Amino acid sequence: MPRWGRVVDALPLSRRAARASPVSYACAILRRMPQTRAELPRHLEVEAPDGAAFPLHGLAQDDPGAPVVLVSPAMGTPVGFYRRFAEHLHAAGATALVLDHRGSGARGQVPRTTGYRQLTDDLGAAVAVIRTRLPQAALTVCGHSLGGQLALVQAAEAAERGTPAPDAVALVAAGSVYHRAYGRRAPGLFVASRLMALTAAALGHWPGHRLGFGGRQPAGVIIDWAHQARTGRYRLAGADMEDTLRGLRVPVLAVDVEGDRLAPPGAVDHLCGKVPNAPVDRRGYTARDAAGGPLDHFRWARHAAPLARDLVAWTRGAHPDTAGGPR
């Protein structure tokens, strides 16, 4: 396994890049990050409602009643990126599982129409399988970046429909991408979101593998992302999800990360504001918390042992006895 975390740490961003729009800033970070491959073992097999099959990778505890943390990745971020985080979660006493979203990692070739609807359905299918295989375990979905946004939407929709849902949602470096939540960078993000949607619609995909942001993504994912960046509202296959989000009542842990310009505190607050009926625990994760490790939107995962311990402890406190929600 290449120790790419050290390589990234040794390549600080220029002042010009640090002042750039969120999309340009992300490109600058991701160009410095060598690609990783999944090294976590396959643990469970999942089938989505449309028949798409995919594995959950992870590390299981011997105790079937141990808490489960399902990691929902950032856009274009493969399972292997979360290997060390999963190891820390496992060391803290949780069964740690990770999936590849469609369009990422081993699931890179998907139809252009794939959007938030399909990604959320995949997450729901994974939750259902975990509920079936580990019925005594308390389940928290931990979402990073886009993965956190999808985790909230899935949990809210499942609660509304009475389908399998997590007991809690944890957000790490996950915020709304609504442009007005980014202060002076709002105009740049608004324009970038328009251009990205137009590019994805014209090509049938977003060429992030060439441009350095999000990897190669189906057009539908980028169009849905851009819609939320422009309007601040989430939608699945054209259906507005804002009322559904307001109905969510499971505990939510929201952690903003020091040095994260892609999910700054204002963007995290905007996302948390969509679930006013859920008990939200807002926290920060700093370089001091990480024992001096440099942090940003991605590097937190390489310095996450304290965060993993706190997350598992919070999970036990959020549901101390057993799992809840529909099975």
Q: How confident is residue 31, by pLDDT bands cut at 50, 70 and 90?
A: very low
Beta-strand pair 168-172/252-257: parallel
CB-based burial, 7-31: b 16+ in 10 Å, e otherwise: ebeeeebeeeeeebbbbbbbbbbbe
Whether the per-residue pLDDT at 322 is higher than 80: the answer is no
- The pLDDT of residue 128 is 97
Distance CA 82, CA 139 (A): 18
Say what the pTM is: 0.87
- The pLDDT of residue 320 is 59
**Cβ partners under 8 Å of residue 161, min gap 6:** none
Q: Which pair of tokens denotes residue 133?
A: 């295989």
C-alpha closest to that of 150 among 83, 101, 97, 104: 101
Whether the per-residue pLDDT at 327 is higher than 90: the answer is no
- The pLDDT of residue 108 is 66
Whether the per-residue pLDDT at 292 is higher than 90: the answer is no
| Overall average pLDDT of the 123-134 stretch | 97
Distance CA 323, CA 134 (A): 9
**Domains, the chain, with CATH or none:** 4-318 (3.40.50.1820)
Q: How confident is residue 20, by pLDDT bands cut at 50, 70 and 90?
A: low
Whether the per-residue pLDDT at 29 is higher than 60: the answer is no
Beta-strand pair 139-144/95-98: unpaired
C-alpha closest to that of 204 among 192, 220, 215: 220
Whether the per-residue pLDDT at 323 is higher than 80: the answer is no
- The pLDDT of residue 23 is 55
- The pLDDT of residue 143 is 98
Beta-strand pair 280-285/252-257: parallel
